[in-house]
Amino acid sequence: MKKLFILALMLCVATLSFGSEADLIIPEQVHNWSFLHWGFLITILGFLFGMYQFMKVKRLPVHKSMLEIGEVIFKTCSTYLKQQGRFLAVLFVFIGIVVACYFGFMTEQSAGVGGVLMILLSTVIGMLGSYGVAAYGIRMNTLANARMAFASLRKQPLKLFSIPLNAGMSIGVMLVCVELFLMLVILLLVPGDLAGSCFIGFAIGESLGASALRIAGGIFTKIADIGSDLMKVVFKIGEDDPRNPGVIADCTGDNAGDSVGPTADGFETYGVTGVALVSFILLAVPDTMLQTKLLVWIFSMRILMVITSVLAYYINNVISKAKYSKSEDLDFEKPLTSLIWIASILSIAVTFFVSYFQLGNIEYNGIQYPNLWWQLSLIISCGTLGAALIPEITKVFTSPKSSHVLEVVKSSHQGGASLNILSGFVTGNFSAFWTGIVFVLLMFFAYMFSGSFEGIMIYPSIFAFGLVAFGMLGMGPVTIAVDSYGPVTDNAQSVYELSLFEEIPNVDEQVEKEFGFKPDKEKSKYYLEQNDGAGNTFKATAKPVLIGTAVVGATTMIFSIILVIKNVLGIDPATVLNILNPYTILGFILGGAVIYWFTGASTQAVTVGANRAVEYIKNHIKLDTNAPKKADTKSSVEVVKICTQYAQKGMFNIFIAIFFFALGFACLSSPEGIGGKEAVSLFVSYLISIALFGLFQAVFMANAGGSWDNAKKVVEVDLALKGTDIHDASVVGDTVGDPFKDTSSVSLNPIIKFTTLFGLLAMEMAISESFRKAAPYFGLVFVIIAIVFVWRSFYKMRIDSKLEDIIAQNKK
């Protein structure tokens, strides 16, 4: 750590005399648009909506035994989150030094001490924003899980749908409103010459927070999940048997990976996509009046989408009550699907309506652009439609009712775990193909309409791609809500079992007297299992949307790097950034290599940690008939410590390698290196490769994992074959899918965005006149450091068992 800190300081000294050409200055006319100031009121109303849903869930009835388990899970989650907060502070040292040097000395006009402090403050606020919404998500979900477990005892499945959805909408609306409020503060209250830089700092901060929380949470949750699940095969015990010390850790992991990670990730995705578009408008649109109108339009869309998401939620509630209020059985996927489509339709309608009034009379250089409003609306609507279509495509491969998932189940009957795993691989590959085709169609359609506004900006196709990503987030609160639905349903099952509710003396009479209904325990288990399957499906549907916005949005941010190259080096990017340049090919290969290393490193951390957790659980599980059937707090805490240890160790190796790869490859792209000006293509193609390889790797892994997960649910719920050979095979397949869907795949989203954002600063350093001669030498040092951490990510994360001991144990 000390050596790395000294190296960062050396970089700081080396950049004292850098110069920059990319100034992001917000036009003063933006402050005159009173509509944007109404955005503060909308966000405050959004906060109130979120708190109303919070209190609504908190006031729901819950049995004491379930409430106690919910609080244990929350306290364990809080301890984990505090440790992650301290870890984030360490990582911020690296980023803070580079951000301070960049904005303090590398820009053409130094921001000064006050300006640098303000930008650093924006970075800290961005990081704290990711951390804060993650903490809120944990509190909301751990309140909802116990109440949902208790509500399952009533024969009212619509209530079981409402509780996790209310919790999810609270998180989604709060998340978007916090993001929007902070961005409006920067836009309207920070001086225009600093606001653009503060946006970049803010985006880097939230990207740092999301990367750390997503990766570490993904590693933690799957160590615990695998450790807990394998006990079902080894000891033939139930799903959430309280005697299994891994169950509490698994519940904590459900929140660390499926609540903390996605919430921080959603916060970052929403912000980074907006910052990318703000940067594009300021760099690619020459006229300040046009800049102002487009900025106001972008923020107006975001303000109004909060309203449409809440409105869609209430409309869907009315429809759901009319259709399902008297039903004792409910396909939980149906009302979730209708919510997504209602939100999509409302968002598209509002986009066209508002765009007509704000962009209907655009004129530039004496030329009228009467069609601009509906063309831009159509492009955004491509993204909004995509956010509804992509979940439908994903359900084809991950829903318990899909033919692909049933194929995984069938393959397990004769082929056991081997064919189960192979069938899941097939599902993931097919899903990546069709999801890729959807992205191509959406982006091509956007490109076709982008040529019509070529006269008002440069590279209009890049703007169109950015708007597609922006449109995908148009119903952000709903997307986050259906993603947050999953961890509540997953934890509710565990809370029910851990509470030992069924073993409490006279519990039926107690509930009937205290709460006014007679509990139905058998139906309760069926509801919880079925709803968990729906939660698994919709967790899977949100992942391609978030990774898609990362990839499409990254193209917009890469544009900023291309402009820096053009302005600083005075070259036409088209002459260098092409496939005939060998450095372009080398950059593509490097990006793919890093993606595959990252996938292996994150999975290795899970593998080693799970091995240690399984070893501990086997040695401390108490299954003798005389042992009390309840959770052993001491053993459970120890499993949580194992998960945290390997999560942080794996995260540190990964993040430092990603950090120094970005610096190293950028510096090796210096025009003073052996490749001359052609070398600048290396880093740009590296970033593009990271995005494209990352997209397909993430979709493949996420949907393969989702199919394995729900294949297990089909075996357990629909076929009622728990404890059989086919169940054992499906459990093994699910443990393979765990790090696929909840560690490696989901972590690629923040990695893509962090690399692209940080890459803007790294490239600026590499091509600055006073540093470009030394840059290749620094680049070699940085790449060597990255390789050291690549080496550490395996050779310092290996299973420590000796083969001799394994032989001896298996001969007993």
Residue 343 has pLDDT above 90, yes or no: yes
For the chain, give the percent of residues with pLDDT over 90: 36
Nearest to 567 by CA among 199, 156, 284, 259: 284
Distances in Å between the alpha carbon of 640 and those of 247, 340, 593, 608, 637?
10, 36, 32, 15, 5
Q: What is the dihedral of CA 58, 59, 63, 69, to 10 degrees?
A: 10
Task: For residues 590 and 662, give the distance between their C-alpha atoms in angstroms, rounded to a whole number.
Answer: 11
Quick one: which of 602, 617, 558, 585 has its CA closest to 762? 558
Using alpha carbons, select from 730, 729, 747, 789 the residue that is nearest to residue 603.
747
Q: Are 301 and 352 in contact (CB under 8 A)?
A: no
pTM of the model: 0.87
The pLDDT value given to residue 434: 94
Instruction: Report, as an integer, the average pLDDT of 470-492.
Output: 85
Quote the pLDDT of residue 624: 66
pLDDT at 106: 59
φ, ψ dihedrals at 628, nearest 5°: -65, 140
Q: Is the pLDDT of residue 67 over 60?
A: yes
- Give residue 356's pLDDT: 92
- pLDDT given at position 798: 86
What is the structure's pLDDT at 6? 37
Is the pLDDT at 17 greater than 80? The verdict is no
When pLDDT is cut at 50, 70 and 90, the band that residue 110 belongs to is low
* Torsions phi, psi for 723 (to 5 deg): 85, 0
Q: Is the pLDDT of residue 15 over 60?
A: no
Average confidence (pLDDT) over 687-712: 93
CB atoms within 10 A of CB 426: 16
Q: What percent of the chain is helix, strand and coil (3-state, nearest 5)?
A: 85, 0, 15
pLDDT 10s digits, 132-157: 998 999 899 989 999 999 999 988 88
Helix or strand or coil: residue 693?
A: helix
| 274-308 pLDDT tens trace | 888 888 888 888 888 898 999 999 999 988 989 99
Q: What pLDDT shows up at residue 321?
A: 92
- Least confident span in 287-296, 460-469, 616-625: 616-625
87 token code pair:
């870890």
For residue 358, pLDDT beyond 80 = yes
Q: What is the pLDDT of residues 491-545, one digit of tens each?
A: 888 888 888 888 889 998 999 989 988 888 888 888 888 888 888 788 788 888 8
Task: Please compute the mean of the pLDDT values over residues 377-383 and round it to a whole number.
Answer: 92
Q: How many CB atoms lie within 10 A of CB 513?
A: 9
pLDDT of residue 407: 95
Predicted confidence (pLDDT) per residue in 396-455, tens digit = 999 888 999 999 999 999 989 999 999 999 999 999 999 999 999 999 999 998 887 788
Average pLDDT over residues 356-373: 85
Q: pLDDT of 531-547, one tens digit each?
A: 888 887 887 888 888 88
Q: Specify the pLDDT at position 21.
A: 36
Annotate 265-281 with three-state secondary structure.
HHHHHHHHHHHHHHHHH
Contact of 683 with 759, CB cutoff 8 Å:
yes
Specify the 3-state DSSP secondary structure of 364: strand
Selected residue with higher pLDDT from 318 and 548: 318
Give the pLDDT mean for 308-332.
91
Residue-wise pLDDT for 196-207, tens only, equals 888 888 988 988
Asked if the model's pLDDT at residue 3 lies above 60, the reply is no
Confidence of residue 812 (pLDDT cuts 50, 70, 90): low
Residue 12: predicted pLDDT? 38
